[in-house]
Structure 1
Amino acid sequence: MDISKLTLEQKIGQMFICGFHSLVPDDQIRKLIQDYHLGGVIYFRRNIDELEQVASLSASLQNLAAANEDLPLWIAIDQEGGMVARIDHKKMSRIPGNMSLGATDNPEYSYEVSLISAEEMVQLGINMNFAPCLDVNNNPQNPVIGVRSFGENADKVSEHGAAVIRAFQEKGISAAAKHFPGHGDTSVDSHMGLATVEHDLDRLQQVELKPFIKAIQENVDVIMTAHVIFPAIESEPIPATLSRSVLTGLLREDLTYKGIIVTDCLEMHAIAKFFGVGEGAVKAIEAGSDVVLVSHTLSDQIEAFEAVKSAVLSGRISENTIDRAVERILALKQKRIADLPASDASPVFLERHEKPEVDRLLKEVSLKSVTLVKDQGQLPLNINEQVLVIWPEVRSETQVDEPWTEVVTLGDALAGWMEDVQEIRISAEPDQEEIEKVLIAASSCTQVVLATYTAGSSLPEGQRALAEQLLQQNHSKLIAASTRNPYDLNDIPGIPAYLCCYENTPYFMEALASILAGQSKAEGKLPVSLDESNMVGAN
């Protein structure tokens, strides 16, 4: 991998990771590889079907790059675990998310499950994971991080994050710690707008920056930037992704980071809406980014390539700046993927029941994670009586909220312990008709379990209204269990019993059912703060 043999276009191409929209190489990705010498590809669910298809796709893309006499590709993905996982397949181990792992209070679990995830990704030809998320989620109103964080304690986030990085990189997957310098204390989703973190530098060093400092000590391969404004570091009202003070001054010089800096996607509104994708790419490289991520739209991708090339030819960006970035890129590719075979491969995936050691570990982690926050004599359920379970379904997809194809509802899981389980499925944002249907069914039940689901910053109004009306009915047992963000109790403080699951994935619903039925104890520790007045009687 000799930079002197690369043309300017090839060097610029190495500085881009882009996405496309099919299960096989399409015209979009062929054009980016063949005409623009693309350095890397990012997968989304739109690229995923069978696991053998993913492995074949990875090999086909590498073959395209090799046929174009280009360097091996990074093949990247957001396989964070829990509620953010692009690969949703029954043969893929359902790895817990960060906050679930944080609730175990055991970084060894984070290491062990990440080893499993890395081993499986390698078999699919994936060599970079945009994880772990090292944001310290200390803002209950954060609409985009939430359970993607290990919690609100910077030291614990640092320990768990370092364990994940170590596991990924031991197995040959480049870890990408995100979102530098920290997206945890925001109330705006940077997919949709510009957020600002107002804290002074001393506070940032004590909280937000601490996990990234630990990641640098762990020799993390990649750090991803945040589209968030930090006035304490950058005097101009621009996000960290475009700030030389943040990326060069703080990350490169002050924190002495030597690895790759990659932007978060420039098509997110925080960049595209306020600066434009092409100008955003130029500004990001001027600020100190080595790699630019443009995930979706071919016209935006070409605009960004051409804008960077024009900036170099005009002298706005020096070719020396390009060379320094590409030297770092080549060094990492040499280390991680230089010997990657460019041929079709069949991954040796086993069915879930054929991986007993993985199954045991993931069941253990889920039981160590589910957290009992409050119980005023409601647990366990009487397994000889009927129980009504209310299950909110994820029916729409966002970048961080994706419906699963393999769903085990809480009702499904409880049916393994109780004979008379009735379940009503509602929207995560139920309308009045759905609420009335639930209330009619609940009026004749002595035991009701309300699963809550919040993807954004607060419990949806319909779920809140339903909980309040259930409280007015006379149930011998009324229990709420959050199946994503743990802050739901703050919106329904009158609930007499409350558990946190951090995700609605099968292992966690099975663990929750076991706890509700009195067969297991909830052993998790709350990794974030809730309103203490709501926790009277908490165990």
Structure 2
Amino acid sequence: MDISKLSLEQKIGQMFICGFHSLVPDDQIRKLIEDYHLGGVIYFRRNIDKPQQVASLSASLQKLAADHGNLPLWIAIDQEGGMVARIDHKQISRIPGNMALGATDHPDYSYEVSKISAEELLQLGINMNFAPCLDVNNNPHNPVIGVRSFGENPDKVSEHGAAVIKAFQEKGLSAAAKHFPGHGDTNVDSHMGLATVEHDVERLQQVELKPFIKAIQQGVDVIMTAHVIFPAIEPEPIPATLSRSVLTGLLREDLAYDGIIVTDCLEMHAIAKFFGVGEGAVKAVEAGADVVLVSHTLSDQIEAIEAVKNAVRSGRISEKTIDAAVERILKLKQKRLTGLQATEVSQVFLERHEKPEVDRLLKEISRKSITLVKDQGQLPLNTAEPVLVIWPEVRSETQVDEPWTEVVTLGEALSKYAANVKEIRISAEPGQEEIEETLNTAASFSQVVLATYTAGSTLPEGQMSLAEKLLRQNHGKLVVASTRNPYDLNDIPEIPAYLCCYENTPYFMEALASILAGQSEAEGKLPVSLDEPGVAAAN
């Protein structure tokens, strides 16, 4: 991996990671690899079927790069765990999300599950994970981070994040800590607009920057930038991704980080809408980014690559800047990808039933994550009497998380403990007719469990209305369990019993059912503060 043997076009190609839209190498990714010497690929759900298919895809892409004289590819993914998991297949372990891990208050769990995830990803030919998310989520109205954060305590986020990084990189998987300098205290989703964090430098050092400083000390391979404005660091109204003060001044010089800096996707509206993808790519490289991520659209990907190339040829970006970035890229590829041949990507993947030790660990973590926030004499349920479960179905995907294809509903899980469980499945954003039908059914039940699901910053209006009307029905027992965002209680504070699950994945619903039935205790510690008096994060 000798930079002197690379042309300018090859060097610039190494500075880009791009996505495509099929289960096999298509014309888009072939063109980027063959004509633009692409340095890396990012997978999404659209690229994923069965594990054997993913391994074959990775092998095909590496072979394509090798056949055209290119360096081995980074093959990256956002497999954060919990609700952010691009690979959704029964042969892949359903690793808990960050906030669930934070609720256990045991960084050892974060280390153990991250080892499992790294082993599985590497077996699929994936060598970089855009994780962990090191944002300190101290804003209950954050629409995009939420349960992707370990919590609101910067020291605990630092401990869990360092454990994940250590586990990934011990196994040989590059970790990418995100979103620098911190996306936790925002109320705008950078996929849709530009957010600003107004805090002064002292506060940023005490909170937002702490986990990243710890990650640098841990030797993290990659740090991903945030499309967020930080006026205390950058006086111009530009996001961190495009700020030389943030990327070079703060991250490179002040924090002495010598690893790879990668941008978040430049097609997000925070960049594309306000600056353009091509100009955004140039500004990011000028700011100090080594690698530019353009995830979706071929025309945007080509525009970004050509814009950087033209900026070098015009003298706007010096070739020394390109060389410095590529030297860092080659150094990391030499460390992580040396000797990688496409034929070595394993096609063999362990079946779920052959990993009982993983099942035991994930069941244990789910039990130790679920948090009982309040209970005014509602628990446990009387399993000899009828129970109504109201389950919100996630019927649409967001830019961040997608519905799981294999779902165990709470009603299904509770049926193992209670003789008479009826479940109503509603939309996560129910309309008035759906609400009225649910209330009519609920009227005849003395025990009702409402699961809530919030993908954004506040409980959807329909779920809130349903909860308030259920309260007025005066059931003998009414329990609400949030199956994603723990802040739901802020919108329905009068609920007499409230538990946080942080995700609606099968292990967590099975653990929740056991708790509702009185067969086990909720052992989790709340990693964020709620509006309820006396309900603060466990610190």
Instruction: Give me the TM-score of the superposition, normalised by structure 1.
Output: 0.99
- Supply the AA of the counterpart residue of 1:72: P
Residues 303-337 of structure 1 show CA distances to partners (whole Å, capped at 9, x for unaligned) of 00100000000000000000000000000000001
User: What letter is aligned with 2:339?
Assistant: D
- 1:245 paired to 2:259: no
Q: Which residue of 1 aligns with 2:352?
A: 352
Aligned counterparts, 1:109-188, within 5 A: 109-188=109-188
In structure 2, the residue matched to 1:46 is: 46
Give the SS at the match of 2:424. Answer: strand
CA RMSD of aligned residues (A): 1.1
* Cα displacement (A) at 1:532: 3.0
Equivalent residue, structure 2, for 1:61: 61
| Separation (CA, whole Å) in 1 of partners of 2:94 and 2:483 | 15
| Partner Cα distance (2:351, 2:14) in 1 | 37
Partner of residue 438, structure 2: 438
Residue pairs, 1:102-501, within 5 angstroms: 102-343=102-343, 345-501=345-501
**Structure 1 equivalent of residue 520 of structure 2:** 520
Partner Cα separation in structure 2 for residue 489 and residue 137 of structure 1: 17
- Tell whether the 8 Å contact from 1:60 to 1:344 is kept in structure 2 after alignment: no
Instruction: Give the letter for the 1:368 counterpart.
Output: K
Is 1:503 the counterpart of 2:503? The answer is yes
CA contact (8 A) 1:55 1:344 kept: no
Q: Deviations over 1:184-231 (max 9, x none)?
A: 000000000000000000000000000000000000000000000000
Q: Is this contact kept in 2: 1:169–1:175, CA < 8 A?
A: yes
3-state DSSP of counterpart to 1:532: coil
The whole-number CA distance in structure 1 between the counterparts of 2:285 and 2:102 is 34
Q: CA deviation at 1:352?
A: 2.3
What is the deviation of 1:474? 2.2
Counterpart amino acid of 2:222? V
Structure 2 residue aligned with 1:81: 81
Instruction: Supply the distance in 2 between the matched residues of 1:303 and 1:83 (Cα, whole angstroms).
Output: 32
Q: CA shift at 1:433, angstroms?
A: 1.0
Aligned amino acid, residue 371 of structure 2: T
**Offset, 1:345:** 4.1
TM-score, structure 2 normalization:
0.99
Q: Output the CA distance in 2 between the equivalents of 1:351 and 1:390.
A: 33
> Runs (4+) of structure 1 moved beyond 4 Å?
none
**Matches of 1:483 and 1:530 in 2, distance apart?**
16
Identity %: 85
Partner letter of residue 133 of structure 1? C
Q: What is the deviation of 1:349?
A: 2.4
Q: What is the DSSP-based 3-state SS (H/G/I as helix, E as strand, rest coil) of the residue aligned with 1:115?
A: helix
Task: Give the superposition deviation at 1:361.
Answer: 0.2
Q: Distance in 2 between matches of 1:466 and 1:83?
A: 24
SS of equivalent to 2:513: helix
CA distance in 2, matches of 1:535, 1:254: 37
The code of the aligned residue for 1:335 comes to: K
State the Cα distance separating 1:344 from its structure 2 match: 6.6
Distance 1:193 1:149, change over 3 A: same
Following superposition, the deviation at residue 343 of structure 1 comes to: 1.7
**Alignment-mate amino acid for residue 198 of structure 2:** E
Deviations 1:247-270 (A, max 9, x none): 000000000000000000000000
- Counterpart AA for 2:80: E
| Residues in 2 aligned to 1:71 and 1:328: alpha-carbon distance in whole angstroms | 14
Contact 2:198 2:231 in 1 (8 A): yes
- The more displaced of 276-285 and 397-406 is 397-406
| 1:4-42 residue CA offsets vs partner (Å, 9 max, x unmatched) | 000000000000000000000000000000000000000
In the alignment, the residues of structure 2 paired with residue 458 and residue 398 of structure 1 have an alpha-carbon distance, to the nearest angstrom, of: 15
d(CA) in 2 for partners of 1:379, 1:101: 24
Kept in 1: contact 2:56–2:347 (CA 8 A): no
The alpha-carbon deviation at position 529 of structure 1 amounts to 0.1
The total of aligned residue pairs comes to: 537
How many angstroms apart in 2 are the aligned matches of 1:400 and 1:385?
Answer: 39
Q: What SS class does the counterpart of residue 357 from structure 2 fall into?
A: helix
Q: CA separation in 2, counterparts of 1:349 and 1:113?
A: 18
**C-alpha distance in structure 2 between counterparts of 1:342 and 1:351, whole Å:** 23
The letter of the residue matching 2:340 is L
- Shift, 1:397, TM fit: 0.9
Q: Residues 493 and 534 of structure 1 are in contact (CA less than 8 Å); yes or no, is this contact kept in structure 2?
A: no
Instruction: Give the letter for the 1:30 counterpart.
Output: R
Instruction: Please give the per-residue CA displacement for 1:56-79, whole angstroms capped at 9, x wherever unaligned.
Output: 000000000000101000000000
Structure 1: how far apart are the matches of 2:415 and 2:535? 29
SS at match of 1:343: helix
